[in-house]
A and B are shown apart, each in its own frame.
Chain A
Amino acid sequence: MDALIELFISTAFVASTLRLAVPLMLAATGEVISERAGILNIGLEGMMLMGAFTAVIGADLTGSPWLGAIAGAAGGAALASIHGVIVIRWAGDQVVSGLALNLGALGLTTYLSRKILGTEQTEVAHFEPVNIPILSDLPFFGPTVFGQSPFFYFAIAMAGMLSWVLFRTRLGLAWRSAGEDPDALDSVGVSVARTRWTALLVCGAMAGLGGASISLAQLFTFIENMTGGSGFIALALVIVTRWRPLWAVGVATFFASADALALRIQALDVVDIPFQISLMIPLVLTLVMYGFAARAGRSPAALGRSWLKS
């Protein structure tokens, strides 16, 4: 029993949960926006990886983690714009395009990181946790929750802001219409292509930041394939959020807590569960959550469907 308490109710558990949740929050929030506008972005993983890479390059060149984060967002958005050319401009298949981007991002970052960064893992300018005054002095989890990297606060702020944009502004209305019924949007004279482009670029930038949050706030360097499937997890979590940005915060945190649990089980050695099996917990959990969400939720009606003006 003590061991269980030790597992869950500890600052280390909360800290690692929040730390693991940040990249997922950022990427999942971005994907929510893109899917709302009807663009399925399987390339999310590749965009995260690209963002992680360009962030490291940016931070390395400028010596500033902030500029690094911006470079990360730009890297994700750049990859997203290739997706946009293929699926919005040419109306190509969204799934295949996304898969190609994943493949390309893996190959390109691996290749370029060896070219530019070499094989030694150099530590670059990175983010330190930021303590929010007063709040971080709260007892129990205060120092943990309010002593996170800037990405954490940014992820939550962006989820809130994008939620507001999605539900309370003309742009959000256009996004939702583009994902539900692009013909209807076109018939009121709003460009479906332009609408989808904005959503996709937001998604790319958010995914890039998600990647940057791994490279600049967790590992401080770039490692080949360092996102290790987070993008795919985020993709599944989007369905669980039922396409609401704010939910991405909660769902990502819940998933991350399972992930953190897997790590804690290893670290504490309290239960004799093999490493691989505990790593399966979050995957199986995602599958189960998806199973329930798929039955309850209704995806945007035009999701994944290309649209061309006739």
Chain B
Amino acid sequence: MTSKRDALGLVLLGRESFVVSAVIILGLLLSLVMLAVTGADLGEALPALLSGSVGDARAIEETLSQSVPIMFVGLGVAVGLRAGLFNIGGEGQIYVAALAGIVVSQWLPVDVPVLAVALLLVVGFIAGGIWAAAAGWMRAYLHMNEVITTILLNGIGFLLASWAIHGPLRDRDGGGFPWSEKIGEPFRLPILDIGPLTMPSGFLLALCAAVIVWIFLDKTVIGVELRTLGDNRDAAAYAGARVPLLVIVAMGCAGALAGIAGVVELSGSQERLSDFFSPGYGFTAIAVALVGNARAGGVVLAALFFGALTAGASSMERIAQVPASTSLVAQAIIVALLVVARSERLGRWVRARRQLAAALDGQVT
């Protein structure tokens, strides 16, 4: 006899991966409906979307490359979320870290490639970490909401980088563009060949970061403390955790990961800092962390998905003249649907149905 519980499909509903998949499919469908309604030629746009994201080795490299920064920043947002903090400051942290990376690379021209890259990663980690830890400090000791402080710090961080590349760090031979000089050769991350495919080495680094984040959150004492803080601040205090310190640590980790995103993007992809360095990675990363349910593995998958979406959208713009900004709309729809999927009312409804199912089971058996 099949259980009534199964008949109601509740086993699936309880599974996060099912919920997320359903939300993504529904979100994409809605986005397509929007495109169709506004008169885009889906017959042209859809193939362009697919070929631009997974169509060939070049497209896959682009997808991986797009997923690298949002994976790093998304992992950071996930650490924050698990500790009950919302790091909206990825943009600012990326710019500040990339700026620090440029400065250090010019100031300390290490010429051993491995050392140079390691130095760059450390610099990004520290710069992004400090920029976000400041917001953590304001939260812990001044009771300032990190959502608002990180948004303001985004603006300040961006302006700081912008000032540097218009002024002291400007590339005099840059063809008149306000951007920095290219970062030195030893500081660059290579593109790896694996069989028929190519892969930015930053992608491997991002996967390593995911593993480290997973170990950090699940297998260390600080990780447990952070998660307790995120689940129930009072319980964390009762259990003797130093809450203000934890808040600063959590924000610092989130910013450090965003900082690494900045230097990896610098050394592995763009090679110089400009006013258009980050096309909103910090915000897409929030969608990544939410869709990934703030779990390291989930973030990796979500970053790949959004990376593919971004890569596909730009090919859609090239081939089918559908503006790439539609991928923003798709992101927004997916996140909004996800909020509903994880909302209190739906949670209540599912619980009520479960009880009903359990009662039915009880009557049948």
A291 touches B142 (CB 8 A): yes
A100 touches B38 (CB 8 A): no
Q: Which of B128-179 contact A (CB under 8 A)?
A: 138, 142-145, 147-149, 151-153, 155-156, 159-160, 162-163, 166-167
B339 at the interface (CB under 8 A from A): yes
* Complex alpha-carbon distance, A276 and B162, angstroms: 7
Chain B residues in 8 Å Cβ range of A103: 283, 287, 328-329, 331-332, 335
Which candidate, B195-203, B244-252, B319-327, is the interface stretch facing chain A? B319-327
Report, as a range, how many residues of chain B touch the other chain.
35 or more
Q: Which of B324-347 contact A (CB under 8 A)?
A: 325-333, 335-336, 338-340, 342-346
A286 at the interface (CB under 8 A from B): yes
Chain A residues in 8 Å Cβ range of B159: 276-277, 279-280, 283
A107 touches B328 (CB 8 A): yes
A270 at the interface (CB under 8 A from B): no
* Complex alpha-carbon distance, A283 and B153, angstroms: 8
B332 touches A111 (CB 8 A): no
A114 at the interface (CB under 8 A from B): yes
A239 at the interface (CB under 8 A from B): yes
**Shortest Cβ distance from residue A295 to the other chain B in the assembled complex, whole angstroms:** 6
A106 touches B325 (CB 8 A): yes
**Shortest Cβ distance from residue A246 to the other chain B in the assembled complex, whole angstroms:** 22
A99 touches B283 (CB 8 A): yes
Residue of B nearest to A40 (CB): B147
B286 at the interface (CB under 8 A from A): yes
Residue of A nearest to B327 (CB): A107
B344 touches A308 (CB 8 A): yes
Chain A residues in 8 Å Cβ range of B325: 106-108, 110-111
Q: Which of B37-58 contact A (CB under 8 A)?
A: 38-39
* Complex alpha-carbon distance, A114 and B324, angstroms: 11
B348 at the interface (CB under 8 A from A): yes
A306 touches B155 (CB 8 A): no
* Complex alpha-carbon distance, A108 and B331, angstroms: 11
A287 at the interface (CB under 8 A from B): yes
* Complex alpha-carbon distance, A291 and B342, angstroms: 32
A90 touches B340 (CB 8 A): yes
Q: Which of A82-111 contact B (CB under 8 A)?
A: 82, 86, 89-93, 95-97, 99-108, 110-111
A108 touches B336 (CB 8 A): no
Question: What are 22 sample pairs from A and B whose C-beta atoms fall under 8 A apart?
Answer: A89-B345, A90-B346, A92-B340, A92-B342, A93-B343, A95-B147, A97-B336, A100-B332, A107-B330, A108-B329, A108-B332, A110-B323, A111-B326, A229-B155, A232-B151, A274-B167, A276-B159, A279-B159, A290-B152, A291-B138, A306-B344, A308-B348
